[in-house]
Amino acid sequence: MARPIRVEFAGAVYHVMARGNERREIFRDGRDRHLFLETLAEVVPRFGVRLYAYCLMPNHHHLLLSTPRGNLSRAAGWLQATYTARFNARHRRSGHLFQGRFKAQLVEADEYARWLVEYVHLNPVRPRRKGELVAVDRFDELTAYEWSSHRDYAGLRRKSPEWLSLDWLRYWGRSKAEARRQYRQSMRHAFGHAVRNPWLQLRRSLVLGGDGFYKRIRTLVEEKKGGLEEARWTESEEAAQVQARVRKLVEAEPDKRIKIWARVRLGGERGAEVAREYGYRSGAGVTLALRRLETAAGLDKTLKKKLERARIDAHRK
């Protein structure tokens, strides 16, 4: 079987799905699901990923995310390998957990984000047979389902995790309150109806988007020698712009730790590259400093807010 095409560029948006080997369970209980979410929480800052929605099912998972650094393979690959190692250690097993590499489709967010979020969140109650109606009496089941971001979008969770971006609520309304009301109404309307399948509009098993978006991606793939081989497209100019924006953002910051954190976590610079500039012998020292800072932020609300503000400002254009 040919390896799936990977098209990667800064700011790309994807639907990522991974299934258990031989369709077996990748989550045996709630602790496994917590373990996966804990691992996912590490991926977001480690690789600079923006996670917009997720849903965990017994033998597979769905993620909707973007990669400001153009590093999907590294991020999703690390998630899959790390969770496998932790799952195997917990259950005293060895070998593959997932059925090969993860699948990923490129998404034109402005056209499909709302549809995809609703489709992914309906997974726990969607009939197995396509075309069948979603049972009306399963609405409470969806409301109570803990293992997706549905409750975060609907405003039913007391506090959403910091690693989950709710920026896509804007596709339902201008204010958060209005967006959540419209989202809940839309999800309620899905019950008693057949769920529209967005993948029927998927082009070449890779792209979910309009003509212009598809032509852009098709050009990238066709320019890759070998055609069906993995294609990687990195927009170095965009990456450089992000780094420049982050450096300017922390230019007047007196705390050296925050400067390093911003350049590595937000700007995507390698720890080894900034180490000597700040008096460290190697990237290992920078990594340790970042861990200490993030640990401190968990205890210091002022520091935590400062880092979160920097993260928000860094993604503004």
User: In this predicted structure, what is the pLDDT of residue 271?
Assistant: 82
Query: Which span out of 107-121, 215-229, 293-307 was modeled with the highest average pLDDT?
Result: 107-121
Residues facing residue 65 across a β-bridge: 14, 51
Render pLDDT for 206-225 as a digit per residue (tens, 0 to 9). 899 999 999 888 887 777 65
Render pLDDT for 141-184 as a digit per residue (tens, 0 to 9). 999 999 999 999 999 999 999 999 999 999 999 999 999 999 99
Mean pLDDT over residues 42-62, rounded? 96
User: In this predicted structure, what is the pLDDT of residue 317?
Assistant: 57
User: In this predicted structure, what is the pLDDT of residue 3?
Assistant: 55
Per-domain residue ranges of the chain: 12-200, 237-314
Is the model's pLDDT at 50 over the cut of 90? yes
Give Dmax (Cα) for the chain.
63
Euclidean distance between CA atoms 19 and 208, whole angstroms: 20
The reported pTM is: 0.74
User: In this predicted structure, what is the pLDDT of residue 34?
Assistant: 97
Which of the four CATH numbers 3.40.50.2300, 2.60.40.10, 3.30.70.1290, 3.40.20.10 does domain 12-200 have? 3.30.70.1290
User: In this predicted structure, what is the pLDDT of residue 225?
Assistant: 53
For a pLDDT cut of 90, what percent of the chain falls above it? 60
Euclidean distance between CA atoms 39 and 12, whole angstroms: 22
Q: Which of 23, 5, 15 is nearest to 201 (CA)?
A: 15
